[in-house]
Chain A
């Protein structure tokens, strides 16, 4: 019995999503060169500030969280076990 194929069972659809994401990144970054955002703080005035900050924030978040696992991770029944 073969099951119906779903949208992400096809590798090329995943690739399409990733490609669309890259296009979105490029477009939204490019807007900074055309549209002058009004700013409250000088940080914000930097080109691509939000884009770069967003990207690195997430990468650092994940890398630090991974590091945290070494210190904080215990087995699932940690609090149930008596030792």
Chain B
């Protein structure tokens, strides 16, 4: 029983959820992550389940500290997301969410690249329904773009895996490192799901278009599976340090001017993944632990922020900073919980982001990357600015939008409450998490220097925001779209294709004329022979047949005697 891959439980529950009535469905959905988490805790280190399929050895279950930690994380993320979506009557979303969580578990426990590929694609196929479920034209378009990009990532992964199999005869999903074409393909495949710069736009395009509950699931799994895969295969790859540093910096500019608050969080998500990518690029024990711990914390605090915004969207139907404000009056509990998430992502001491982020920062300096360190410090100030202050400020405070609503349904509050408790618990007593980390290290989380430095950074960032706001320099929230790299495929490529079609039109027309003429000629010929008046359709009199038979017989007689 213990060596069944954890994804099976979720897939089985998805079948149950597809047929059971609402209440029973809710019960099963709550029980599955709890039972699953216990099962994962029982899995012994070093457990490997292998099966051979057409002479290829697959490893659908591989357990070590890294995969188990992500396994537990995904159970927590799934549980919080499920509690948050319990009120929903939308069966398709529940089924999709269970399959999606199961696929994430399948991917982190995969021991070979083919199994990884399978779940990599399943992640895309199942999660896209959480976007479609919004049932708007925009969501449909965003979902299709999301799916195409995710499937491309999967195809690259498969191509790379097959090349590696061809070269080495092994499909093992372990350290790969950047060497040769196959590894580059896999690197890009992981990079797409990880939202590397220029490959990131699917995330900010699709996540804000999903349903209020769907985005909570989306923010937990896909990118974290990619971070896990990078940690597994490309630890210590130096280029990741620079890629990660870029990821921490550029999205915060977009986050400052973005109006849709869930899109602000999507940009901030890229920024947080950047910290993890830097840690993985450094590859030291401290950096790797920092990256992994940060991924763990991010699922919870980003989940909390996404939930608080989901609650606002659910209750008011609005998500733009320009339309919201003053909601602290009618949603005080949601406001408080949102602020806990904001404090955690901003890495306030005693909140969950603080220790994991400083681990990466310290590792960056120790490994001698002062410029990268300055970039990360800039990004730390920036994340407080746009996720820590902007999100709660424009949703719950700012000018009073006049919206009067109530707190969201109880299940939503409970889900946010659980996440908030975890944020504070890990922040106050980080050892619950740090004792589970896979690498040996010496690190004291509550170092006086770090605490003071971080408080100074945050307090003065807040002062900057306050000053800019009071002095009316802060850019107002505006209804707008900001052009990002997606412009290439949402605007330029369609335009080119249209213009190519336009220029080809005369040629196409003359071609179709030729085709029509040829077709007409052929039809005439066919009708001539086979049509109702055609030669072959004529009714022949019996006499003429007898005559022909007589002629043939006569001819054969003559030939016989000749």
Q: Is the CB of A79 within 8 A of B459?
A: no
Judging by beta carbons under 8 Å apart, are B397 and A57 in contact?
no
A-B contact count (CB 8 A): 150
- Closest residue of chain B to A65 (Cβ to Cβ) is B256
Give the residue name and chain of the B residue nearest to A66 (CB). B475
* CB atoms of B478 and A73 under 8 A apart: yes
B173 at the interface (CB under 8 A from A): no
Cross-chain contact of B365 among A25, A41, A51 (Cβ < 8 A) = A41
Contact of B397 among A8, A21, A22, A24 (CB under 8 A): A8
- Cα-based distance from A40 to B361 in the complex (angstroms): 11
A20 to B249, CA, bound (A): 30
Mark B346-377 against chain A: 1 for CB-CB distance below 8 A, else 0: 00000000000000001001100010011001
* Contact present for B452 and A59 (CB under 8 Å): no
Q: How far is the CB of B444 from chain A (nearest CB, A)?
A: 11
Q: A55's contact among B455, B461, B484, by CB below 8 Å, is which?
A: B461
Check if B542 is an interface residue, CB within 8 A of chain A: no
B257: interface (CB < 8 Å): yes
Neighbouring A residues of B480 by C-beta, 8 Å: 69, 73-76
Which residues of A, 5-45, contact B by the 8 Å Cβ criterion?
Answer: 6, 8-9, 18, 21-22, 24-25, 28-29, 31-32, 35, 37-41, 43-44
B546 CB–A CB distance under 8 Å: no
| A1 contacts partner chain B, Cβ-Cβ < 8 Å | no
DSSP majority for the A interface? helix
B490 to A: closest C-beta gap in Å: 5
Are A54 and B381 also in contact (CB < 8 A) when A21-B462, A65-B475, A79-B481 are?
A: yes
Q: A54-B461, A55-B464, A58-B381 are in contact. Are A64 and B479 (CB under 8 A)?
A: no
Q: B365–A40 contact, CB under 8 A?
A: yes
Q: Which of A18, A54, A78 contacts B458 (CB 8 A)?
A: A54
Please, how many angstroms separate the alpha-carbon atoms of A55 and B381 in the complex? 8
Contacts of B482 in A (CB 8 A): 68-69, 72-74
- Cβ of B463 and Cβ of A65 under 8 Å apart? no
A38 CB, nearest partner CB in chain B, Å? 5
**A-binding segment of B50-58, B146-154, B466-474:** B466-474
Contact B463 A25 (CB under 8 A): yes
Nearest-CB residue, chain B, relative to A60 = B378
Nearest CB of A to B133, in Å? 20
A sample of 23 cross-chain residue pairs with beta-carbon separation below 8 angstroms, ordered by A number, consists of A21-B466, A25-B463, A32-B452, A35-B452, A37-B448, A38-B449, A40-B365, A41-B373, A44-B453, A51-B457, A57-B377, A57-B464, A58-B465, A59-B468, A63-B473, A66-B475, A69-B257, A72-B484, A73-B257, A74-B482, A76-B479, A77-B481, A78-B483
